[in-house]
Each structure stands twice: as structure tokens, then as C-alpha cells.
Amino acid sequence: MTHVFLAATVATLILAIPYLGRVIAGPTVFDRVVALNGIGTKIAVLMVLVGLLYARADMFVDIALAFYLLNLVTTLLLAKYVKERGGL
Amino acid sequence: MNPYIGGLLSVMLVALGIALIRVRDLFATMALLSAFSGLIAVLLAVLGAVDVAFTEAVVGASISTVLLMTLLRRIDPREVVRQGPLARAAALAGVGAIGFVLLWGIDALPPFGDPQSAPTRHVAPAYIERALQDTATPNVVTAVLADYRSFDTLIETTVILTAAMACILLLGRKP
């Protein structure tokens, strides 16, 4: 079962690479906001997967939940910033 | 730590660090810093430091992004100040010197997860043995932070509250 979690963790990490590329390259602000939100989703999943790898999912689920809630707040505030700037 | 996860994370972090140096847009810098902190949090979780990972995920990846964005609202994000070649060379030399000292010091660190290393033989076993019956808290780090060191944590919280109130009093006015 550990192999499944390990493969899922590595696959999720690889899935985060295109988002990172979009945050680095992304010409517009919208690209960066959406890519950042995508990376946040990947990180929340990664936390749970690392917890499952170490058979201590109960602790890591808390991190994932707190991180994801705050990630949502961050994305909303970024969207508000972009709106104030008039699109940029 | 698994070599695949650690290697992938390290490569991604190095790529993000190089991009952070190269990028010139302040909004992009903020987004990259947030992504960097999130990946550092995953790395800390992989290393087993759950509480540090929690702090890094909450403070580094989320709160500081919000704070930086509050700053960006008041300045022009496309403002770029290029340093002169002398200042850049001095910065490179300083960073290189600090990096050399840090890499030099790695040699003195105990191996990862070594139960016979000096920090794990001093008072740590006593806390690990007694924490559950002393405090009835299953997590040892939480037991030390919120029970053995509770006054320290309380005063720390008071300091942060005072600092936040001072910042709001000084900077909270509408410009």
C-alpha cells in the first residue's frame, strides 16, 4: 500500500510542475493567480499523501485543511487586488 | 526521507529560487514566494516536522502573501530599481560567503534521524517519556510548546498582539 501512496505523491509533485512553470512564465496576473491556486490544491493533497505515507494521516489532515482554507482566502484577496487594479 | 520525493522537491525549489532572482515583476515575486513557502512546507512535512510544516504553510504561504499584497496595493508593482554593478557584485560576494559558511557547517550536523546524536540524548528522552502522563497531550511538540513552555508562549502571543496593535495605530490610517 505504501507503494501506491509513494507513486501518488510523486505523480502529484510532477503534476505541480506545469503550474510552477505558469507562475514563473505566466505573462498576465490572472495566469499567476490561477496557477498559484492550483499549486495550493496540489500542496493540500501532498500533505495528506505524506501523512498516509507515514501512517500519521490524522495530524497531516489538519495541516492540509488549515492550509487550504487560508489558500482560499489568499486567492480571494488576490482576486480583489486585481479588481482594484482594474485588471492590470 | 524518500529520494524521489526529496529530489523532485529540491529540483523544484532550486528552479523556483532561480526564477525568484530573475523575475522583475513584484506581483510575480509575491506569487513565487508563496509557491516557494508551500513547497518548503511539503518538504518539512516529508522530513517529519509536522508543526514547522504547519507554521510554514499558514504563515509563510498564506499570511505573508496577504501582507505582501497589502504592501503592493500602495506601491506601483512594475517599479523596477536596478542596482549598479558594484552593488550587485558586493551582494553576490556576501551571499556567496554566507552560502559557503552554511555548506561548510553541514559537515558538523548529525546524520538525519540519528538516535545517538547529541541533541536527542540530552533532555529529549525525559520529555518524550513523561509528556503523556504529565500533560495528557499525545503530541510531544505541542506538550512542550503549550504546557512546559506555556508562559513563554503566552508572552510571545502578547508581544505579537502588541506589535500588531502598534502597526495598526501607526499605519492604519487611510493615505
pLDDT digits (tens, 9 = 90+) for B86-114: 888 999 999 999 999 999 988 888 887 77
Residues 6+ away with beta carbon under 8 Å from A52: A5, A60
Tell me how many domains chain B contains: 2
Domain-terminating residue out of B80, B105, B131? B80
Question: B27–A29: do the CB atoms touch at under 8 Å?
Answer: yes
Residue B93 counted as domain residue: no
Low-confidence ranges of chain B (pLDDT < 70): 1, 77-80, 174-175
B31, B57, B80 - which closes a domain: B80
Q: Interior CA angle at B34 toward B72 and B64, to 5°? A: 55
> What is the predicted ipTM?
0.89
d(CA B136, CA B130): 10
Residue ranges making up the domain that contains B130: 116-175
Domain termination residue (choose one: B56, B80, B104): B80
B39–A contact, CB cutoff 8 A: yes
Q: How confident is the model over A46-84, as pLDDT tens digits?
A: 999 988 888 888 888 888 888 889 888 888 888 888 887
Reported confidence tier of residue A87, pLDDT bands at 50, 70, 90: low
Kindly determine whether residue A20 and residue B72, on different chains, have CB atoms separated by under 8 Å. no
Tell me if B137 is assigned to some domain: yes
Q: Do B31 and A60 touch (CB under 8 A)?
A: no
Is there a domain that residue B162 lies in? yes
Residue A57 CB partners (closer than 8 Å, separation 6+)? A48, A51
Residue B70 and residue B133 in one domain: no
Whether B65 and B120 map to the same domain: the answer is no
Inter-chain CB proximity A62 and B139 less than 8 Å: no
Residue B105 lies in a domain: no
Tell me which chain B residues have a C-beta less than 8 angstroms from the C-beta of A65. none
User: Is B88 part of a structural domain of the chain?
Assistant: no
C-alpha R_g of chain B: 21
Domain annotation covers residue B41? yes
